[in-house]
Amino acid sequence: MAFPGAGLRSGWTLAALLPIAFLGVFFAWPVAAIVGLGFAEGGVWRALTEPGTWGLVGFTLGQAAGATALALLAGLPVAFLLARCRVRGAGVVRAAVMVPFVLPTVVVGLAFRALWPDGGVLPIVLANAFFNVAVVARTVGGLWARVDRRAEDAARALGASRTRAFTSVVLPALAPAIGSAASVVFLFCATSFGVVLVLGGARYRTLETEIYLRTVELFDLSGAAALSLLQFAAVVAVLLLGGAARRKRERALPLRVEPTRRPVGGEWAAVVAAWLVVGALLVPVVGLVVRSLATADGWSLAGYRALAGTGERGTLAVSGWQAALNSVRVATDATLVALVVGVLSAVVLVGLRRRGSWLGEVLDTALMLPLGVSAVTVGFGYLVTMDALPGDFRTSPLLVPLAQALVVTPLVVRIVLPVLRAVDERLRQAAASLGASPWRVWREVDLPLAARSLVAAAGFGFVVALGEFGATSFLARPDAPTLPVVIARLMGRPGELNSQLAYAACALLMVVTTVAVLLIERLRVPAGGEF
């Protein structure tokens, strides 16, 4: 896509206004309001001097560090299998590790609660690691597949053992990708909400769940804002470290254009470890399905039949199926918004990079910020700010889709952008020289080449929006809850039917997510993005 003549640079700047405006209104403004509220009435100082605050910080960072280390240990063998081995079932492995990443956090929490009914620190760490193995496998595996094997082969030929060749040659080459993956996983674990809410209960709380508690139950808005500010500072620090690692990864050792997969030779230990990880990832999933069918009186479909009702003693305002329809409708709207903003952002980033504009780097970094900032903080910010928009936007049915689109848009960009950057610029130039307008160049050249990645981004965005819980738990109206919000409400109410209904709803979400991931894997462009 190009803009003619001297107006080229200004054209890209104008095209960038939509994503910038979207980020400004629905991300920067709410977060800035939280920062301001945190400093009001001495909230920051009071929060910093409370004895429990640093205990929350310590537990938040400690469980995130433990889950990150475990995700790295589990993800590296899977990354090796996907990147270097030519074995049957690689597609199954890729889908199996991706399903946990897009499962709703409430579903993951309940899956581990089926195995650990009392919750605790260990299941929280395991659940967060389970959720993020895919980040390590995809991020590290994408680079590992294209690291030239000749240096490793030369080390082996000179007498180095397989372990020595890995630690001396391969590991340094992978270090930027490992650092990037670790920073992203740590970020996701530190801002984990549904998992800690379900498995931590009242005993174990992180900054994320404490912000929710102070806002919804204690109405301590200043204290919640102060904790949000503290969390935001930590998030920015991790994002800076992750950005540095990502830049190093882009300047890593000379890469091969095509992956260098070989039949499994002496790497059986790593392959077996990878399959064991896949098997371990299936345990909570199977446990969830079993729990949805098991009752005090034996096996039963009572939970699934109860989806047509409102739970025991009318716990819910709507039926389970109505909540599912609400989820589908909201996720569809969020996906459409994210596709418009994300695809336009990707097109703009390609053009700005080609022109060497500094605005491209700024926009790329800004687009990634919503992934690292707490969804609870953003949802809280909406409650504080959106009444200033015409008609008190806090009551608008569009508010939840826009909040979910904020989370989905960075993922759309990361899937579509590498594909658009890979399009041969000569094709665009040839079309333009034949008189095609910028829109026609996009329609005739870019769109056909990027079509598969666009469909994959839409499917991926839909399942992520379908399970979004952090911001939605703040913003969903009582008469229009989404399925993850309904699940959380059911688990907070007594009664076996409520529990069975919650697990049945989780199984339903899991089936939809699995089918979507399998379809995405069939459409996925090789090396077409980190996710």
- Every domain of the chain and the residues it spans: 1-29+303-531, 50-294
Q: Euclidean distance between the first and final Cα of the chain, in Å?
A: 25
For the chain, the C-alpha Rg in angstroms (whole number) is: 24
Q: What is the pLDDT of residue 254?
A: 44
Query: Alpha-carbon distance 446 to 424, whole Å?
Result: 10
The reply to whether 1-29+303-531 and 50-294 are identical in fold is yes
Say if CB 141 and CB 85 are below 8 A apart: no
Which is nearest to 308 in space by CA: 298, 322, 294, 295?
322
Containing 294, the helix (H) or strand (E) segment is strand 294-295
Facing residues of 85 across strands?
Answer: 262
Residue type, 489: R
Q: What is the pLDDT of residue 42?
A: 64
Say if CB 225 and CB 43 are below 8 A apart: yes
Query: Alpha-carbon distance 428 to 363, whole Å?
Result: 23
Query: Alpha-carbon distance 218 to 34, whole Å?
Result: 17
List CB contacts of 135: < 8 A, sequence separation 6 or more: 71, 75, 101, 181, 184, 185, 188
pLDDT tens string for the chain (531 positions)? 444 444 445 555 666 788 888 888 888 898 888 777 767 666 667 777 777 778 888 898 899 999 999 999 999 888 888 877 776 767 777 778 888 887 888 888 888 888 888 888 999 999 999 988 988 887 788 777 777 777 777 877 888 777 787 778 788 888 877 887 888 888 888 888 888 888 987 788 888 888 878 777 776 777 777 777 777 777 777 766 665 655 554 444 444 444 455 545 556 777 788 888 888 888 888 888 888 888 877 888 888 888 888 888 778 888 889 988 999 899 999 999 999 998 888 888 877 776 666 676 777 777 877 876 777 778 878 888 888 877 667 778 888 899 899 988 988 887 787 777 777 677 777 877 877 777 677 777 777 777 777 887 888 888 888 888 878 887 888 888 888 888 888 877 888 888 888 888 888 888 888 887 777 777 665 544 455
Helical H segments across 386-482, by residue range: 399-422, 425-433, 438-441, 447-466, 470-475
Say if CB 40 and CB 157 are below 8 A apart: no
Query: Alpha-carbon distance 429 to 368, whole Å?
Result: 30
The pairing of strands 298-299 and 294-295 is antiparallel
As given in the structure block, the two tokens for residue 173 are 């080459």
Residue type, 226: A
Q: What is the pLDDT of residue 356?
A: 64
Query: Alpha-carbon distance 357 to 20, whole Å?
Result: 16
Cα separations in angstroms, 245 against 19, 170, 175, 232, 531: 25, 16, 8, 20, 17
Query: Alpha-carbon distance 95 to 514, whole Å?
Result: 8
Alpha carbon 217 to chain centroid, angstroms: 27
| 396 burial via Cβ count (<10 Å: 0-12, 13-18, 19+) | middle
Residue type, 227: L
Query: Alpha-carbon distance 2 to 429, whole Å?
Result: 9
Query: Alpha-carbon distance 227 to 376, whole Å?
Result: 11
Question: Taking the domain 50-294, which CATH number applies?
Answer: 1.10.3720.10
Which is nearest to 313 in space by CA: 496, 130, 486?
496
Angle between helices 29-39 and 221-250 in degrees, nearest 10: 130
Query: Alpha-carbon distance 379 to 199, whole Å?
Result: 22
Count of alpha carbons within 13 Å of 18, Cβ hemisphere only? 17
Q: What is the pLDDT of residue 251?
A: 47
Tell me phi and psi for residue 85, to 5 degrees. Answer: -110, 135
What is the value of pTM for the model shown? 0.76
* Four-way CATH pick for 1-29+303-531: 1.10.10.60, 1.20.1260.10, 3.30.70.270, 1.10.3720.10: 1.10.3720.10
Query: Alpha-carbon distance 497 to 483, whole Å?
Result: 16
Concatenated DSSP letters of 258-322 = S---B--SS-HHHHHHHHHHHHHHHHHHHHHHHHHHEETTEE--HHHHGGGS--TTS-SSS-HHH
Contacts 24+ apart (CB under 8 A), 117-123: 119/198, 119/199, 119/200, 119/201, 119/203, 119/204, 120/199, 120/203, 120/204, 121/63, 121/204, 123/199
Residue type, 51: P
Identify the residue whose tokens are 């909540």. 323
